[in-house]
Structure 1
Amino acid sequence: MKKKMKFLLPIVLIIILVMSLFSARSITRIRNYGKLINYVGIVRGATQRVIKLETNDKQDDELIAYVDGIMEELLTGEGQYGLKRTSYADFNNELELLNENWSQIKKEIYDVRQGADKERLLKQSEELFDVANDTVFSIQEYSGQRSTVLVRQMVITGVFCLIVSIFAIGYYVRKYFRLREKTAELADQAGRDELTGAYAIERFYAEGQEIIDKNQEAKLAVVYIDFENFKYINDVFGYEYGDRVLKEYARTLTDSLKENELLSRSMADQFLVLRCYEDKQDLLNMQMKIDRDFMKREVLPDKHVMAIACGICCIEDTIEKLDIRGFVNRANYAQKTIKNAPGSNYAFYNESIREQMFREIHIADRMGSALAAGEFIVYFQPKVSPYTGEIEAAEALVRWKTSEGKMIMPGEFIPVFEKEHLIGRLDQYVFEEVCRFMQDRYREGARVVPVSVNVSKIRFYTADFVKNYAAIKERYQIPDGMLEIEFTETVACESQDYMLEIIKELHDNGFQCSMDDFGTGYSSLGMLKDLEIDVLKLDALFFRGNPDSKKEQLIVKGILGIIKELDIKSVAEGIETKKQLEFLKECGCDLIQGYYYYKPMPGEEFRKLLIGRQDVSLASGNEGGNR
């Protein structure tokens, strides 16, 4: 027996050693599977974060490079993370498919950055998420199979191996749950705003709708919060300071949240809060207190320039059956009714606001049919030389005369079209009508003067804007220099590099360029040295103050002197009195536009005016003008 044991023991020890080595090898592989699971999970979470950022117009190329590095090491088994290739064919096939999906996602991201629709990117992200899940599950399955074999080996080699196997299984189970927790954390981060930690808008919609559905009898309200003049804060104090203001305000709102209440940063300086309440006045008082306390903590050098506008939509005040998005829209509309309105910072959505909102919806819905029916009428307001009294140019304006004969003024429909992103169609319609009018004049052999047309911010940023306008100009055979494109100072301020490119392109296509509303912003003079504009229009606000103010006169004289030195033609708009006219003549202003000479008039009336066949009443010499 001893002899047997003498031989058996070494054999047993060799078997145990071999099994231990084999088990150790298996354990090493299982640990590698855990790392693979971890890093595939990281890829899954990180790619979703990349896509979330891109759909919110935020770019993170460093995160994309991080994912590329992990994918490269998963595929090759070589790199800084210590990941090893497995011989498991299903997992390797899933990795190849995951890499193909990631490559497609990067292509879609590039297309989105070039202006493509984000829907394809979102659809591709869902496919990538599913493939990433399949990849994780495949290696988990294989890891489970190897663990089972390992347990059997450990049972066979005795209690010691059993203890080791239990320890290993426990260890990896804990690691699995830590991975699940990490994945949950990544998913939570992907649903939050990076700057403030508040919910991203889509997560707010999803969880907000769930709260509403589960609390049908509760009093719930959506509060839409928007900072006024926040661009001023960023421009004057810097974006870092602006970000600090937003983070502090988000923290203040977060501290005020109760059960079933949510906070979202919907965009830029706008926040959404879903609130529970018992009394509307208490709801309002709480929001006012939050804002007062916040303003006390954030002491700004120019504190008076920043205010908070809040629109509140209580679900009980809505007539229609709406979802969370509908309540947000109505709270937003209520906020817009008081934004930048003096003395008012809070508004509840009510029947009056509802009627106004549906009035705007009606206006927006009628635009297409009104364009087709020719209800939009182009008016012309002459620009007159103050020295000769001759009409030297004109501006094209638009009026809406419905089929019922009702006249809708621009102040009512233009803001609606801008908000609904419809204004570009109207801009192009007016431009083409002007070209048609000028072509008819040329065919008649009649006098033609340059005409300026307004281009909205939305149309200005359309990629094919210049190409389309140039094609229309060419089709109607309008000579170079006879059409002037007017854009506002606000557009020029937002992206001067883009503006420089567009102005060059417009000049190359025979257009003149004009900056409208000069003097309404605070960075105009700095732009004049860079922008190659042809015409500068002084805003009417320059001339509505005290006509005898030496300061105002000095400013106007200085500006006109500067632009004359820059070889830019000047136009003063909104001129109504002889005193204003004489002062501008003294300053050397090139053209006058306003009721002192002519009010806006339909095309036929303007045509007759140019050929001297229409007795148009002039207000020249009459204080106050002719409206």
Structure 2
Amino acid sequence: MKFNRSLNVLSPLLTAAGLFALLTAQKSRKVLTRRLEAASNEDPVTGGANERKFLAEAGRLLRSAGSKNYAVIAFHVRGFRGINEVFGYRNGTRVLHGIHWVFMRHTEKGELSAHVYADRFLLLLSFQDREELCLRIKNICADLKNTIEFYGIHYELSPAFGVCECPEAGTADVRELVNRAVIALKTGRTYEKLPCAFYDEQIRTRQITLKNMADRLSPAMQNREFVVYYQPKYSVAEETLFGAEALVRWRTNPQTLVPPGEFIPEFERTGKIAELDRYVFRQVCSDIRKWMDEGREPAPVSVNLSRVNLLDFSIAEEYRAQAAKFGVPAGLLELEVTESAFAQDGPALEAAMKKLTDAGFSLSIDDFGSDYSSLKMLYDVPAQTLKLDREFLNGLNSGERGRAVVSAVAGLAKKLHMTVVAEGVETEEQLEFLKKIRCAAAQGYYFSPPVPEEQYAALLPAAEKRAAHADFYGNRENSAV
């Protein structure tokens, strides 16, 4: 009986405690839910909005915009990687914080800013007309210039903006608008001296064209629409045939020949350049075999090798087997890698190049002086040829200083036992200078533009004659694959 009376007394207390515990748990869950939701919308680097929040909030603002004009803006810092490498990642993060607060100062109620990743940010700005929008971007640029200091030294950022003005904002797909802003950003264009590019019909048409090109790659190779042209290289001293560079063209129809600059960047972006590399290499091997069968003395041909394929460690054996299939000696095939490929993954690329040289191929650093340009690279990379970018020759017009630079680079390469080839030779004055510094070979419109296979084949001497390139290349064409 006492036990029952005790239960009757405790029951209300237990009920109250249970209700309290339940309410506390519900409140905790709500707090936790709010915290999780806040975390899912917060960028961990800047503490501001992330892309997820930007997309949700931008959609809400655009749907209720009415007649108000909005623009989605993609932003990044040119050369941000260099900031991390030179000043360290902690200071790189400081830069991102600085950019975030600049954007916060320049966004008003009903506008947004968000950090996406690395140095990429998004903005949603309202404006009356393009003139006002450009003025706002100009003010942001001015503020960014006064933002960053490292160790008491002012560091001036190089910003870039891609702008997509929102059409019929109420029905706009925010993610599509962001994509368009990013596409505009990647064009690298400027507008009225501002580092910003506006997405327009021209960019849209170009985007569609590039996508169609990428989609057509495999059928185009099957239909043999890609044709290899050869630009002859000539010995500078004797002005006799030295070799050639294989350059691909796309014959989309009998009357249209598309130059590589129109499609190569898109193939590189999508990774499809690897297929094209292999296609061109096979065609060059086939052409060399044809010349040999016709009793001609082939000169070495250089073939471009993309960074994608260079990092594929199986490419050396694949190319060796391909050349062997056609019975083409390794010394007749030189693989060109642009210097910009060494901006990243240097040691891996150097190891990959060594595999290619071990397979018997000679290697060339292409476009030296156009981008990355590290003298240490000349020491590290196992290449036999250095191709001076045409910008070096353009520098000859700047007087003795320009000539001294070209002469010094060529002299250093020769001391490293590298063959020096000058690209973009267009005048007799340039050729005479190359003779003075004893540059081995040159190519350019002074000698010949890229020509079809049959036209280049006509330049090759008969097999019993030795071409002038033999002395420079050390008879490497005699080495078997």
| TM tier, smaller | 0.7 to 0.9
Aligned with residue 346 of structure 1, among 193, 196, 206:
196
Aligned with residue 501 of structure 1, among 330, 347, 351:
351
Residue in structure 2 matched with residue 561 of structure 1 by the alignment: 411
Aligned with residue 538 of structure 1, among 382, 388, 391:
388
1:396 Cα deviation after fit: 0.7
| Paired residue total | 461
1:203 Cα deviation after fit: 5.2
Larger helix proportion of the pair:
1
- SS for the counterpart of 1:316 is coil
Residue in structure 2 matched with residue 156 of structure 1 by the alignment: 7
**Contact 1:488 / 1:515 at 8 angstroms: preserved in 2?**
yes
Q: What is the root-mean-square deviation in Å for CA atoms of aligned residues?
A: 3.4
1:550 Cα deviation after fit: 2.2
Greater relative contact order (CA < 8 Å, ≥ 6 in sequence) = 2
- SS for the counterpart of 1:520 is coil
- SS for the counterpart of 2:74 is strand
Aligned with residue 309 of structure 1, among 141, 152, 160:
160
Compare 174-183 and 322-331 and name the one that shifted more: 174-183
Name the CA shift for 1:345/1:386 in 2 (closer, same or farther; >3 Å).
Answer: same
**Contact 2:237 / 2:438 at 8 angstroms: preserved in 1?**
no
TM-score calculated relative to the size of structure 1: 0.65
- SS for the counterpart of 2:380 is coil
Deviations 1:499-543 (A, max 9, x none): 122112212322222111112235510222222222111111111
| Code of the aligned partner of 2:339 | E
TM-score calculated relative to the size of structure 2: 0.83
| Code of the aligned partner of 2:262 | E
- SS for the counterpart of 2:75 is strand
Larger strand proportion of the pair:
2
Are residue 401 (structure 1) and residue 251 (structure 2) matched? Answer: yes
Are residue 435 (structure 1) and residue 292 (structure 2) matched? Answer: no
**Contact 1:435 / 1:476 at 8 angstroms: preserved in 2?**
yes
Alpha-carbon distance in 2 for matches of 1:194, 1:391:
60
Deviations 1:555-589 (A, max 9, x none): 22222222222222221111223332233233232
Are residue 526 (structure 1) and residue 376 (structure 2) matched? Answer: yes
| Code of the aligned partner of 2:113 | L
Deviations 1:409-463 (A, max 9, x none): 2222223333444333322222221121122223334212221111233444456
Alpha-carbon distance in 2 for matches of 1:154, 1:168:
20
Residue in structure 1 matched with residue 145 of structure 2 by the alignment: 295
Q: Which runs of structure 2 are paired with 1:116-195 in the superposition (5 Å)?
A: 156=7, 158-159=9-10, 162-163=12-13, 166-167=16-17, 170-171=20-21, 173-175=23-25, 177-195=27-45
Alpha-carbon distance in 2 for matches of 1:302, 1:516:
35
Name the CA shift for 1:549/1:235 in 2 (closer, same or farther; >3 Å).
Answer: farther
Alpha-carbon distance in 2 for matches of 1:592, 1:372:
34
Name the CA shift for 1:583/1:207 in 2 (closer, same or farther; >3 Å).
Answer: same
**Contact 1:385 / 1:590 at 8 angstroms: preserved in 2?**
yes
Alpha-carbon distance in 2 for matches of 1:550, 1:448:
38
- SS for the counterpart of 1:334 is helix
Q: Which runs of structure 2 are paired with 1:69-468 in the superposition (5 Å)?
A: 156=7, 158-159=9-10, 162-163=12-13, 166-167=16-17, 170-171=20-21, 173-175=23-25, 177-202=27-52, 204-209=54-59, 211-213=61-63, 219-258=69-108, 261-298=111-148, 306-316=157-167, 323-339=173-189, 343-462=193-312, 465-468=315-318
1:605 Cα deviation after fit: 0.8
Alpha-carbon distance in 1 for matches of 2:312, 2:59:
35
- SS for the counterpart of 1:402 is strand
**Contact 1:313 / 1:330 at 8 angstroms: preserved in 2?**
yes
| Code of the aligned partner of 1:224 | A
Alpha-carbon distance in 1 for matches of 2:179, 2:5:
64
| Code of the aligned partner of 1:309 | A
Name the CA shift for 1:564/1:549 in 2 (closer, same or farther; >3 Å).
Answer: same
Deviations 1:38-70 (A, max 9, x none): xxxxxxxxxxxxxxxxxxxxxxxxxxxxxxxxx
| Code of the aligned partner of 1:316 | P
- SS for the counterpart of 2:409 is helix
Compare 542-551 and 231-240 and name the one that shifted more: 231-240
Alpha-carbon distance in 2 for matches of 1:199, 1:325:
16
Residue in structure 1 matched with residue 460 of structure 2 by the alignment: 610
Alpha-carbon distance in 1 for matches of 2:61, 2:364:
52
- SS for the counterpart of 2:327 is coil
- SS for the counterpart of 1:249 is helix
Q: Which runs of structure 2 are paired with 1:49-60 in the superposition (5 Å)?
A: none
Compare 454-463 and 387-396 and name the one that shifted more: 454-463
Name the CA shift for 1:348/1:496 in 2 (closer, same or farther; >3 Å).
Answer: closer
**Contact 1:377 / 1:399 at 8 angstroms: preserved in 2?**
yes
Name the CA shift for 1:287/1:582 in 2 (closer, same or farther; >3 Å).
Answer: closer
**Contact 1:317 / 1:349 at 8 angstroms: preserved in 2?**
no
Alpha-carbon distance in 2 for matches of 1:155, 1:430:
93
Are residue 597 (structure 1) and residue 463 (structure 2) matched? Answer: no
Alpha-carbon distance in 2 for matches of 1:558, 1:154:
105
Name the CA shift for 1:198/1:486 in 2 (closer, same or farther; >3 Å).
Answer: farther
Deviations 1:455-501 (A, max 9, x none): 23344445654454344334333322322221111111211111122
**Contact 2:116 / 2:122 at 8 angstroms: preserved in 1?**
yes
Name the CA shift for 1:168/1:470 in 2 (closer, same or farther; >3 Å).
Answer: farther
Name the CA shift for 1:260/1:341 in 2 (closer, same or farther; >3 Å).
Answer: closer
| Code of the aligned partner of 1:377 | V
- SS for the counterpart of 2:146 is helix
Alpha-carbon distance in 2 for matches of 1:491, 1:427:
15
Alpha-carbon distance in 1 for matches of 2:218, 2:237:
44
Decide which structure has the larger Cα Rg and report it.
1
Alpha-carbon distance in 2 for matches of 1:205, 1:470:
50
- SS for the counterpart of 1:574 is coil
Give 5+ residue unaligned stretches, structure 2.
464-481
Alpha-carbon distance in 2 for matches of 1:264, 1:395:
47
Alpha-carbon distance in 2 for matches of 1:341, 1:256:
20
